[in-house]
Structure 1
Amino acid sequence: MSMRYLGFVLLFLLPGVLHAQRAVFCPAPSLDGGYFVPEREQYSQGFKIIYACNEGRKPAVEGWWAEVSCEGGNWSPVPQCIEETSCLQLPKILHAKDTKGSDWYKQGRSVTITCDEGYEVLNGENTAVCSNGAWTSVPICEISPDACRAPPPIPHAVVVGLKYKEVFAENSEVRYECEDGYTVEGSESSKTITCSSGTWTEGPSCIDRTARDTGRGGSAGVGTSGGQSSSTGSRTQPVGGGGRETRPSTGRDEATAGGRGTGGGQSGSAAGGTAGGHSTSTSSITPASGGDSSGGHSRPAIIPVNQCGQYPVVTNGVLVETEPMYLKYQCSNFYKRVGPENVVCYSDGSWSERPHCEEDFCSVDAGQYTHFGEGRTGKLFIQKGQTGTHIPCAWSYYTSLFKCINGKITYTQCCTDYYHKAGRCSTFSH
């Protein structure tokens, strides 16, 4: 009876003994130049401690204090106090590849930036430098002038083999496939277009198989007219594939794509393309949207933007909105727009006036100001305007306010935030 009772006790206690053997603890961290709470000899799994650093140092993470957890017998992340002049990881740069390096960098260290395909660094400067706890001359990735925007849409076709993206590097290739019931006009190789010097090569045309077999119909692509025209009186209507509208005719009209009809009367083809010629019309035609029939040469009508081919590229600008009847552009940081915000497509295949982006910043060498207490070196870009940019000084919590007004630099002495807000910092000009 006693042996059976002892066995029962052992079975009851065994799970607790095994659990005690599996328990994992973290020893108190060794933190050079800092302190933490609470202080114990060991900490259980999942326990969190808070730490801060002595004067002249800071945690190796964002903020002046940090939290770490006991995970599997180790602290995550490892608590560490680094010099205040060191820099944490470089912030993410738009359109640049992530930098693979340390969690932090010592004073004077530099990091080289590589832009994504289709982008290049502004002014060729691809290096950021750690100076007094902050990154200076952080590179900016802008669209390369040799890159292309998204390939043009082609009626009855889709792009195959890749996901949508807004920018393609030079020499990129894109392949189209026609939808069921349509076939590519020309050779099989014409299904592929290439980005060359910022422009896509001519794309394929997808035509109706039935229309092709019967010898009728025009192509549904862009860039060629194609197809026969049937005449009804003095006006012609394209048969088969769609094209661009002609401009409204008032007397003698120079059409985008012309020719003579096959029936009675002279006619201009309404299909967009490269076929030459012009038509002389004596009949009245109602102008399309945007047209002007007041006499003389009419202003081209505004048509959908997908009928003007490759979208315009604005240097230092970004296409931010694509609507059926217009494109909207926005300038990159440190640039301002001059000219119209929206661009439209005209029925003669041309684009309306596009904006251009002018420099809107002052570029200064921070090394010229270090004897005033400024802590950065290298080139700085200061946005124009009254707001200005606070540049860290050599002393903690002190900054100098730089402004770019009418192309000239003004800057204050090194002050705390309180004195800046009170307007009690002396201002100098350069």
Structure 2
Amino acid sequence: MPWFCSSHLASRTITCLTCMSFMSVQSQEESCEAPRLDGGYVVPAQQSYTHGSSITYACDNGRKPAVESWWATSSCQNGEWQPAPQCIDETSCVPPNIPNAKYTENPHGWYSDSEKIRITCNSGYESENQDATAVCKNGTWTSMPTCEKSKDACDAPPKIPHAIIIHQEYHDLFPEESNVTYQCEDGFTVGEGDETEQILYCIKKKNISKTVFHFTPVDKCGKSPILTNGDVVNTTHRSLTYQCNDYYKLVGEAEVVCYSDGSWSKLPTCKVTHCAVDTANYPQLVQLPQTTYLLEGQRKEFDCLEKTFYGTHYSASVWCYNGEKYVKKCKYDSAPYMTCATTPHKQNKFTKLPKDGVMTIQPVCHAQADSLCFCTMYEDVC
């Protein structure tokens, strides 16, 4: 029983067999007409081409094939050219090859000059450039970003005997916070219980060199570990994040996870990074009603008990470094009770202009000069 098809399509015939079913006889593959190539030429040049045959083409001056080469090939596939031969302006760009990324594809198969595309890294990869875009400029892509493996991503989950991963395609990388579900083989259970499924979460285990999978949610490990001089600031069902109190520095990893055996990963510590200055322990200092706290690297002047003369200041400098305080001897500081923000106005002297941020005042001495002042910042003697 013949079927009659439209033009350019081969006919089909079905045959009645003794089993009262019909068997279809496949049609012959179609040939291709010569491609219409604007601004280029084809080799070999023919009126038609059989299925499976190939051509090579190139473009005229000022134009180029829509591929990464000055010539290109195309093959006849059942009446169609794959890929379609085309010549584009030489200032246009062909689709970029960006490993581990995807971007919006142009339906024409190429991009015009000044056209911009936005690149999105695949799951488990990231770009250093947050503005992941590229622009076609005179036939070349500029500022092309790269997608590298995320430092927080996990490699493929481990193979577990008598278990298989379900509802998940295979990937080389898994982003942090993702999970996979293992299904036990018939006759096997998880641990000593009767469960047959187990979920693994991708959490960055920061006390070793690479990210691995962990099994257990934090509620399986019981109460959160207590951090002296610190506290939990964030909780997920897979990890705890700690932070130290003021004047303390976190030593170790802030994130703590629950292991499959019910134990916690190593807890960080809070190291003292301040200095407590109690003037009662320093008889040479003027006593203060309460303890003074200095931050790491902070320096502060404390008044000393010896008499302070007019225009002078008798004090000791205390410096906090690496949690230890360093107390210097009391000494006179010839700092006047005036600021160095403005030029001081004194009698019996003239003033030079500032140099390198220091104002220098030189005296003009008179017999009747009856005042004495010192200024280390101004180098003032009058």
TM value normalised by structure 1: 0.35
Larger helix share, 1 or 2: 1
Report the structure number with the largest CA radius of gyration.
Answer: 2
Q: Greater RCO between the two (CA within 8 Å, min separation 6)?
A: 1
